Chain A
Amino acid sequence: MAKPDLTDELKAPAEPLLPIEKKLIGGSLGLGLVLLAVLLLLNWIVPLP
Chain B
Amino acid sequence: MSDTPISIAAAPPARLSEDALAVVIGLGAFVLALVSLLGADALGWLAKSSVWIDPGTALAPASKAYASLGGAGALVLTWLALTAVLSVAAFLLGDDVGRFAVRFTVAFVIAYGAWLAGNWAHLAAVTPAEEAKFGISWSLRLTNEGGFIVALLAGLVIANFFPAFAAWLKSAIRPELYIKIAIVILGAFIAVTVAGKLSLASSVMLRGLAAIVEAYLIYWPVVYLIARKGFGFSREWSAPLASGVSICGVAAAIATGGAIRARPQVPVLVSSLVVIFAVLEVLILPVIAQTFMAREPLVAAAWMGLAVKTDGAAIAAGGITQSLIEAKAAAEGIHYQSGWILSVTATVKVFIDIFIGVWAFILAYLWTNYVNPRPGAPKARLAEIWERFPKFILGFVATFIIALALSLGTGADASGRLAGAIGEANLLRVIFFVLTFFSIGVMSDFRRLWQDGLGRLAAVYIVSLFGFVIWVGFVISWLFFAGIKPPLAS
- Using a CB–CB cutoff of 8 Å, the interface residues on chain A facing chain B are 1-7, 9-10, 12, 14-15, 17-18, 20-21, 24-26, 28-29, 31-33, 35-36, 39-40, 42-43, 46, 48-49
A17 / chain B contacts, CB cutoff of 8 Å: 228-229
Task: Name the prevailing secondary structure of the A interface residues.
Answer: helix
Compute how far the CA of A2 lies from the CA of B264 in the bound complex, rounded to whole angstroms.
10
- Tell me if B234 is interfacial: C-beta within 8 Å of chain A: yes
A26 / chain B contacts, CB cutoff of 8 Å: 221
Compute how far the CA of A21 lies from the CA of B236 in the bound complex, rounded to whole angstroms.
13
Compute how far the CA of A1 lies from the CA of B480 in the bound complex, rounded to whole angstroms.
45
Q: Knowing A3-B265, A12-B234, A49-B199 touch, does A43 contact B224 (C-beta < 8 A)? A: no
- Tell me if B366 is interfacial: C-beta within 8 Å of chain A: yes
**Is A3 in contact with B269, judged by CB distance below 8 angstroms?**
yes
Pull 27 A–B residue pairs with CB atoms less than 8 Å apart, ordered by A: A4-B266, A5-B453, A10-B232, A10-B233, A10-B453, A14-B228, A14-B232, A17-B229, A18-B370, A18-B371, A21-B224, A24-B221, A24-B224, A24-B366, A25-B221, A25-B224, A26-B221, A28-B218, A29-B217, A31-B217, A32-B217, A39-B209, A39-B210, A40-B480, A42-B206, A43-B479, A49-B199
Compute how far the CA of A26 lies from the CA of B210 in the bound complex, rounded to whole angstroms.
19
A48 / chain B contacts, CB cutoff of 8 Å: 203, 483-484
Q: Knowing A25-B225, A39-B480 touch, does A46 contact B213 (C-beta < 8 A)? A: no
Closest 6 CB pairs of A and B: A32-B217, A6-B453, A14-B232, A49-B199, A20-B370, A28-B221
B484 / chain A contacts, CB cutoff of 8 Å: 48
Task: Name the prevailing secondary structure of the B interface residues.
Answer: helix
**Is B452 in contact with A28, judged by CB distance below 8 angstroms?**
no
- Tell me if B235 is interfacial: C-beta within 8 Å of chain A: yes
Cβ 8 A contact of B269, one of A4, A18, A24, A40: A4
**Is B218 in contact with A29, judged by CB distance below 8 angstroms?**
yes
Compute how far the CA of A26 lies from the CA of B229 in the bound complex, rounded to whole angstroms.
14
A-B contacts besides A18-B371, A33-B218, 9 pairs, CB < 8 Å: A1-B264, A5-B452, A6-B456, A20-B366, A21-B235, A25-B225, A29-B217, A36-B210, A46-B203
Compute how far the CA of A1 lies from the CA of B479 in the bound complex, rounded to whole angstroms.
46
Tally of chain B residues near chain A (CB < 8 A): 46
Compute how far the CA of A8 lies from the CA of B263 in the bound complex, rounded to whole angstroms.
16
Compute how far the CA of A1 lies from the CA of B266 in the bound complex, rounded to whole angstroms.
11
B216 / chain A contacts, CB cutoff of 8 Å: 28, 32
B324 to chain A, nearest CB (A): 24
Output the residue of B10, B220, B221, B235 with the most chain A CB within 10 A.
B221
Compute how far the CA of A36 lies from the CA of B218 in the bound complex, rounded to whole angstroms.
9
For B207, give the chain A residue with the smallest CB separation. A43
A31 to chain B, nearest CB (A): 6
A40 / chain B contacts, CB cutoff of 8 Å: 210, 479-480
B10 / chain A contacts, CB cutoff of 8 Å: 1
- Tell me if B488 is interfacial: C-beta within 8 Å of chain A: no
Output the residue of A1, A2, A46 with the most chain B CB within 10 A.
A1
Compute how far the CA of A35 lies from the CA of B457 in the bound complex, rounded to whole angstroms.
31
Cβ 8 A contact of A46, one of B206, B237, B457: B206
Compute how far the CA of A25 lies from the CA of B235 in the bound complex, rounded to whole angstroms.
13
Output the residue of B197, B217, B266, B476 with the most chain A CB within 10 A.
B217
B457 / chain A contacts, CB cutoff of 8 Å: 6
B484 to chain A, nearest CB (A): 6
